[in-house]
Structure formats: structure tokens, C-alpha cells
Amino acid sequence: MTDYRPPIREMQFVLQHVVGLERLAALPGGEAVETDLVGHVLEEAGKLAADVLAPLNRVGDREPARLDNGVVRTPPGFREAYRHYVEGGWNSVPFPPDHGGQGLPWVVATAVQEMWNAANMGWALGPMLTVGAVEALAAHGTAEQKRLYLPKLVSGEWTGTMNLTEPQAGSDVGALRTRAVREGDHYRITGQKIFITYGDQDWTDNIVHLVLARLPDAPAGSRGISLFLVPKFLVRSDGSLGERNDLRVVSLEHKLGIHASPTCVMAYGDNGGAIGTLIGKENEGLACMFTMMNNMRLDVGIQGVALAERAYQHALGYARQRVQSRDLGSRSAEPVAILRHPDVRRMLMTMKALTEATRALAYSTFASLDLANRLPPGPEQAAMAARADLLTPVVKAWSTDVGCDVASLGVQIHGGMGFIEETGAAQYYRDVRITPIYEGTNGIQANDLVFRKVGRDKGVAARAFLAEIREIAVDLAAQPGDDAAVVGRALGAGHDALEGATDWIVASSEGDHRHAAASAAAYLRLFGIVAGGAMMARQICAAQRALAVQGSDSAFLETRIAVARFYADHVLSQAPALVHPIVAGATSALALDDDRF
């Protein structure tokens, strides 16, 4: 087993030179965004990830969470690891000081979140849900809800969950049947929810469930859904815990991966109804929940990046150690480490390039979110909000697709041993496979991109991003060296392909929606590849500038250049070929009658 090495140097390079952390530092309240402080935060987070969480990763896979007399027991060591996490103040990193947070930018918290997930995704899912619950409650909760619950959630003393899915509804949230009945200043909740991550655990003395339910007189469909705060233990006005609420875990799901994470079937109201309080307004629960969902979708994108990084490190370690066959570049017949074999090097470079591109795009999107939150109202603030909104489905879907591809390559590099559980390579593939599914499947993300993010505003936000890509390509063309020229030309071709496809999407989204939907996945993939190419172009520009500085780390910087060049040659070069299935592939995708499949 290869130990996890937090890629702090790579993260800092992206934050400083690709994302541009100095923009945030220059804004009011940005004093905390100081390079040395951010470096210290990453270093300390890396210690917890590598020394505490990573050693528990295989433990949780082999000894999964279990339901014991109605109580969920997490794997050995998980509870103690969570205590270290809370004592270190890690849950509070991105939240405002008003609620006990540290006020650091989301983009810094994102780098930290990547380390948690790379070290131990099954453990990291618990804190991730709490972060989303804080966002929803801070945006839509009442003053009393914020007073009673936010300090405990921000500190991590309590955890939060999200309860959407039901057995008959799946992704069609409008079909849910969980009911809420008014009773004085609260509501009685009855119903069943499935796929509830960390619906129960043995870490904290209370859990705050955010539950979607329908009032008896509510309109049909998604317009009639409300959001409720339903604690495991009721909370008195002084903040102390009262009686156990009427909710329970019915069972735990048996899953392909993330065995350590308890995925619960939850029952509400077996004995008269669980007591909940309304978040936001009646029948506007889906809008409130989407505050949490948008946060979660970006976090899931980071999980794709994290598992890609972990799978890459694991495969690289194996490739250095596994000796087999002679070196094609040598006359010696002596076998060498498989790292010397060209096809293994190609796979490793693919893993590395895709991981770096998705990381940079995810960090860049979170930085846009930070700017949107911190800039004064005006055109620039609106532009940053639109950019973050546009890129959210791309980060979620493309990064998780990449995570699966990279983890699969990791298994392939191990050869037959990759199919054997003892090597550990298979766990990363099994764990990451959920990420294209939850928080809205990647097909849903593609439709969101096509219809809501591009079609709805007639491509305004997309074309603004295309202008950004064009500017990066022009800047790269002015850089010296063959590598810069190759990346610049590939980015220019990618820009043209995405621009043409965007024009088609805008026109098609106004016509037969089935055709636009059939092309949506290919369009999102094209968008991700080109957006990732823009990030790699920024990387090569920054690396070349840094190389000109005396005393710079030439090996590290030259690696950044080589990886960007590889991305241009092997990934970005695919962009023009994706235009055809987007603009001409819908007819064949929809050609068969139902009974001919």
C-alpha cells in the first residue's frame, strides 16, 4: 500500500498562480488570505489527512459501518479521528466569524476538503454534509434556528444531513410523499427517506436533519415541497438537548464502495410524527435545499479530484516497485520497473494531467464563488456569480467522470493485481464510482448546463467564459517556447469547437428539447475538456514566468510545463471531434422505438 502524500506544493501553485489568490487578499476581510497563513493551513491539514485519516481508509473498507440495535457504529478509529478534526477547528474554516467560523475563503477550504477525501472518502462524507447544512441554514433559517443550531454545526459539535430521496421518487424530487402537518409553531413529519449519508453515527450527541416534505394543501410536484429542520434530539431554548425525536434508522445500504460511510434508510414519524421546524417559506423548500445542493455538487466534484489524486499516487508507487520485462530503450535484457514502459508512462501522464486540470478548474470555480460573495454589488460581482453558476455542473460532472477514468487507469496499471482487493487499487475505483451518481446524476448536470446555464440566458455567461478562454490563448501565444505554442494552438482550436457547439446548444434549447438533451452529455464533456485546457494554459504561463526567476525550483516548474503539454496533445486535442456528436448525433441517439432496444 502506498502512503498518501498530500500534494501541497501543487495545491499552492494552483492557488497562487492559476487561481490568483491575491485577488481575494485585496478585498475587505481578505487579511486572512495571506500566503504564509494559507501554506500553514494546508500543511497542518495535510498532517491530519496523512497521519490520521489515510491509515483508516482500508480499515473502513474492510470493517464497514454497521447498525447495532438501532444505533449506527462507524468503523474503528473513525470516531477518534472526528474528535481530532473538531478539536483542530477544521469544520469552521470557511464560515463567517459571526457563527464561530474562521472566515477563510471557500477555495482554501476546498483544498483542505480535497485532502480529507483523498485520505479517506468514507470518513470525509460526514463533515461534507454538515458544511452543506450550514450553508442552507445560514441562507434560509430563522434567527432562532441560527442561534440554536449554527454554532454547533459550524464547530462540528453536531453534524447535518440532507434528506431528499424516497424509494418511489429517485431524482424526481417532486414525486416525494413524506408529509408535514402544521401543529402550532412546528410541524409533524411522517415518511421514509433513502440514501441518507451519515443519517446516524456515533461521533456526536445530536444530528440535524434537513428534510423535504409536502404539506397536505401543497401544490402538486416540485412547487409543493417545503424544507424542515428535524433534529435527532429536540433542542430546548437554552440550547440543551431534550427528548429523542420520532425518527430512526431502518437499515444501512450494502454498497459497491464507500463502505465506511453509513448510507441510511430513515423512517420519520413511526410514533405520531417527528417534530420539525420550517426553513424558509412553505412550498419553497426546493429553492432552499438547492443552496445546499449547489454547495454539495461542487464538493462532489472535489471528491472526483481527490480520488483521482489518490489513485494516481497508488499507481505510481506500484509502477516504481513492480519489476517486469526489459526496458525497450536499453540493450540490457534485465527486467525493469514497469514505470520504464512507454504505455505505463502514458497512463500515468494521463492520470496526472487530468487530475491537475480538474483540480485547477474546481479551485477556479470556488474562487469565483468567493469573489461573488466578497465583491460589492456591481457588474464584476454579477459576472463572478454567473461564472460560478455556469461552471458548477461542469465541475461536478466532468471531475467525477475524470475521477472514475483515472481510478480505472490505476487498476489497469496494476494489471491483474489491480483486480485483487489486497493491492488497494480497486477500492479507489469502487469508492469514486458513486460520485457521478449522487447530488444529481451527471446526466442531470448536463441538462442543467444546457437548459439552465446556457439556454436560459441565450449563452451570455458561456460566451463570457469563452472570451476568457480566448484571452488566455492569446496570452499563451506571446509566451516563448514550443510547448507554449502547442498548448496555445490546441486551446484556440478547443475554443472554436466549444464556441460553435455553444451556438448550436443555444439554438437547439429553444426547439426540440429532446435533441438538446441527447447532446447534453457530449457538450458538458467538451466544456470540461476545454475549460480544463484553459487552466493548463494558465499553468504553463505561470511556470514559464517563474522559471525566469533566479533560484526557482526548475524541476517542479518544468514538470508543470510537461504536464500541460501532455494535456494539450492527448486531451485537449479531442475537443474538435466532440462537435459532431453534439450537433449531429441526437437523431441517431433517439432513432429506435422503445420496443427495439
Any idea what DSSP says for residue 77? Answer: T
Any idea what DSSP says for residue 75? Answer: P
Contacts by 452-460 with C-beta closer than 8 Å and gap 24+? 453/389, 453/390, 453/392, 453/393, 454/390, 454/502, 454/505, 454/506, 454/509, 455/505, 455/506, 455/509, 455/510, 455/516, 457/386, 458/506, 459/502, 459/503, 459/505, 459/506, 460/386
Q: Phi and psi (nearest 5°) for 219?
A: -60, 160
- Do the Cβ atoms of 495 and 477 come closer than 8 Å? no
Any idea what DSSP says for residue 233? Answer: E
Coil, helix or strand at residue 16: helix
| Cα→Cα distances 289→360, 447, 567, Å | 27, 19, 37
Contacts by 586-594 with C-beta closer than 8 Å and gap 24+? 586/514, 586/515, 586/516, 586/518, 586/519, 587/515, 589/518, 589/519, 590/514, 590/515, 590/518
Cα distance between residue 69 and residue 365, in whole Å:
44
- Do the Cβ atoms of 114 and 356 come closer than 8 Å? no
**Nearest residue to 64 via CA among 343, 303, 261:** 261
**Nearest residue to 368 via CA among 395, 349, 353, 386:** 386
- Do the Cβ atoms of 54 and 3 come closer than 8 Å? yes
> What dihedral do alpha carbons 555, 560, 564, 569 form, nearest 10°?
20
> Catalytic one among 22, 439, 499, 558?
439
The position carrying cell 481575494 is 24
439 is catalytic: yes
> What dihedral do alpha carbons 491, 540, 548, 478 form, nearest 10°?
10
Q: Tell me the residue type at 214.
A: R
- Do the Cβ atoms of 275 and 234 come closer than 8 Å? yes
**Nearest residue to 308 via CA among 356, 343, 272:** 356
Cα distance between residue 148 and residue 130, in whole Å:
15
| Cα→Cα distances 525→151, 529, 532, 581, Å | 40, 6, 10, 11
Cα distance between residue 476 and residue 474, in whole Å:
5
**Nearest residue to 351 via CA among 304, 390, 396:** 304
> 143 has which bridge partners?
none
**Nearest residue to 393 via CA among 528, 532, 226:** 528
What is the set of active-site residues? Answer: 439
